[in-house]
Structure 1
Amino acid sequence: MLALIRYSVPGSQAGEFVDGARTILATLAAQTGFLGGHIGRSVDEPDLWALVSEWEGAGYYRRALSAARMDMYPLMTLMINEPSAFEIIASSPE
């Protein structure tokens, strides 16, 4: 399962955002079912950021969100309100 949370971050808040996103990613990484994650920034729209993580399943992700809630709270005003959980249908060959 792939999780994608997008954020709209003014340039003046980018450093603070990265610090907060690293904290969130570390909390998520400590949760059962976490497979990997990244923090990324759009190359075309520098105010658009993403926190991407991969999970063994949706249940793991949803439980991890509960564990990370306090870390996520400071960045919630920057979060784009849209679905974040995606079922993986196909992957590249190994």
Structure 2
Amino acid sequence: MLVVVRFEPPEDLDDFIERAERALAAFAACRGHQRGWLARSTDEPETWLVCTLWDNVGAYRRALSAYDVKLHANPLMYTARDEVSAFETVLESGPDGVRALGTDRAPDATSTAIGDFGPRGPGNPGPQGSRRS
């Protein structure tokens, strides 16, 4: 899983780089973190990004709950552009060519929403029958 978080031009570049370093260190201490980068656009040098690579989406989401991530990475991420940032890798290239990667996504990932539930049965009536007396 690849997470790409872009930032507008930082007002204080040195402070931004220090905060990004602390954020990357916090992520690096988490299980499932493979590597991370702070990068600057070569076409728009005022645009920056923090990119991290994870074993899977679960590892990334669990990392967001880690104390040091909450302390050092989350405040930095709040200053990021408001756009999608998490991507599942589908193809990978290397010296041996291109290969397809498996998916962690559930088959109903694009059709299930908050409030949707799985099969119901006796004793598990779901939201409509869950009123308390």
Q: TM-score w.r.t. structure 1 length?
A: 0.88
Question: Could you say if the C-alpha distance between residues 26 and 91 of structure 1 is closer, same or farther in structure 2, counting changes exceeding 3 Å?
Answer: same
Whichever structure has more helix as a proportion of its residues is 1
Contact map agreement 1:4 1:51 (CA 8 A) in 2: yes
Aligned residue for 2:8? 8
Structure 2: 5+ residue stretches without partners: 96-133
Aligned residue for 1:61? 60
Aligned residue for 1:86? 87
Following superposition, the deviation at residue 23 of structure 1 comes to: 0.2
C-alpha distance after superposition, 1:53-82 (max 9, x if no partner): 110000111111222122134434531111
Contact map agreement 1:35 1:56 (CA 8 A) in 2: yes
Higher relative contact order (CA 8 A, sep 6+): 1
**For residues 85 and 75 of structure 1, what CA distance do their matches in structure 2 show?**
16
**For residues 85 and 91 of structure 1, what CA distance do their matches in structure 2 show?**
16
What is the percent sequence identity of the aligned residues?
Answer: 39
Q: TM-score w.r.t. structure 2 length?
A: 0.64
Larger Rg, first or second structure (1 or 2): 2
Structure 1: 5+ residue stretches without partners: none
How many residue pairs match? The answer is 93
C-alpha distance after superposition, 1:32-52 (max 9, x if no partner): 001111110111112211111
Of 78-87 and 17-26, the range deviating more from structure 2: 78-87
Amino acid at match of 1:56: D
| Mapping of residues 9-88 of structure 1, within 5 Å | 9-10=9-10, 12-67=11-66, 68-76=69-77, 78-88=79-89
- Computed over aligned residues only, the root mean square deviation of the Cα atoms, in angstroms, reads 1.5
